[in-house]
Amino acid sequence: MVRAVHYLNQFFAGLGGEEAAETPPTRLEGAVGPGRGLAAELQGVEIVATLACGDDYFGEHEEQALASLVELLEAERPGLLVAGPAFGSGRYGHACARFLRTASERLRIPVLAAMHEESPGVGTAEGKVLIVPTAVNVAGMRDALPRMARLAEAVVSGRELGPPEEEGYLPRGFRRNRFAPKPGAERAVDLLLAKLAGEARSEIAGGFDRVPPPAPVPDLSRALLALVTEAGCVPQGNPDRLPTIRAQGWLRYELAGSRSLAAGRYESVHGGFDVKLANEDPNRLVPLDTVSELADEGRLGRVHDVLYTTTGNGTPVASATRFGREIAAELKEAGVEAVLLSGT
């Protein structure tokens, strides 16, 4: 029987929600949460312990968290480390990939994670971690666990894995020669016919774009600066019903000469973090008060009178790219020379 250790965040480990996001690395006996469902699917592999860490703790104390987690992991003498499913969660996905990658490098043990293909954790893994693709949210749990179990069993068996589409993991950037059933010309025609029929296919795996940084602002003391946020900051009551997760659009709100975002008039509807403290002072989401003071001091030209907002929580990359282009077009037309983009 192969000994396995399972990594979860505070929520899936049953330690609490956002109020427990500062939980330091913790060991729990056996399988907990989704680990119980995973354990029921595994053959020849036993989850002997669960390691958990709060999303905020990991993000704010990453090196310390990694050191503690690796120490806890090493004490278990595992033959496999699994993590997730993290689905589309950014913080959780990043933590899974970072921990597994570190454990693989330091302890030389097999590792396996599960998350949505657009999770930031996929980029963090950089092809060094086997990742089972999942749905974007927890509704995909029932489908994800059996696929995690099948791949885990394949990994501990020691056999060489086949292609991603056959074994059920995300491409890692490796290229291997193999015989295709058709020559390239025929495959190209098949792809073209599929596209004409409305089915987009490709033999090349996609990836995130690299966006070159813009040129520096020539003179900030003369510049028109705009405030843009993905923190879900909206007028109190969310009158335009901005989604708390997986936004399909963005909104604009006139600031009308305001120098501050008053508590009780603005709030965050972002579904990916605890908004309590942010709603006590919305300027910590969108620093209108600070940039207004900078303009008074002459260190900044003017503040654009429109706030642009959306929620970045779970938003697909393609949608976020479209939002950026649309907002940028408006900013350019308004003569904006600088943007302060606040996130969560």
Q: What is the pLDDT of residue 207?
A: 58
Are 135 and 264 part of one and the same domain? Answer: no
Q: Check whether residue 27 and residue 144 sit in a common domain.
A: yes
Mean pLDDT for 188-195 is: 90
In the numeric block, which tokens belong to residue 192? 């073209």
pLDDT (0 to 100) of residue 282: 92
pLDDT band at residue 295, thresholds of 50, 70 and 90? very high
Average pLDDT over residues 71-85: 95
Evaluate whether 53 touches 91 at the Cβ level (below 8 Å). Answer: no
Residue 152 sits in a domain of what CATH number?
3.40.50.2300
- Say which DSSP state 221 is in: G
Distance CA 84, CA 112 (A): 9
Let me know whether 137 and 55 are in one domain.
yes
pLDDT for 228 beyond 90: yes
Question: Is 141 found in the same domain as 16?
Answer: yes
- How many domains does one find in the chain? 2
Average pLDDT over residues 232-244: 92
Question: Which domain-ending residue is among 167, 184, 204?
Answer: 167
Residues 298-324, mean pLDDT to the nearest whole number: 89
Q: Which one, of 263, 231, 195, lies nearest residue 340 by Cα?
A: 231
The residue-averaged pLDDT of 74-85 equals 95
Q: Are residues 162 and 238 in the same domain?
A: no
Mark whether 7 and 110 lie in a shared domain: yes
Q: Is residue 179 part of a domain?
A: no
Q: Whole-number mean pLDDT of the chain?
A: 90
Encode pLDDT of 88-128 as tens digits: 888 999 999 999 999 999 999 999 999 998 888 998 898 89
pLDDT tens digits along 266-294: 999 998 888 888 899 999 989 999 999 99
161 and 36 within one domain: yes
**Nearest-angstrom CA–CA distance, 172 and 181:** 23
Asked if the structure places residue 157 within a domain, the reply is: yes
Q: Please report whether residue 81 resides in a domain.
A: yes
Report yes or no on 297 lying in a domain: yes
Task: Give the whole-angstrom CA distance, residue 322 versus residue 320.
Answer: 5
Q: Please, which pLDDT band fits residue 250 given cuts at 50, 70 and 90?
A: very high
For residue 313, name the pLDDT band (cuts at 50, 70, 90): confident
CB 340 within 8 A of CB 291: yes
Whether 203 is covered by a domain: the verdict is no
Query: Are the CB atoms for 268 and 285 separated by under 8 Å?
Result: yes
In a domain? residue 194: no
Residues of the domain holding 97: 2-167
Same domain, 46 and 126: yes
Residue 63 sits in the same domain as residue 156: yes
- Amino acid (1-letter code) at residue 265: R
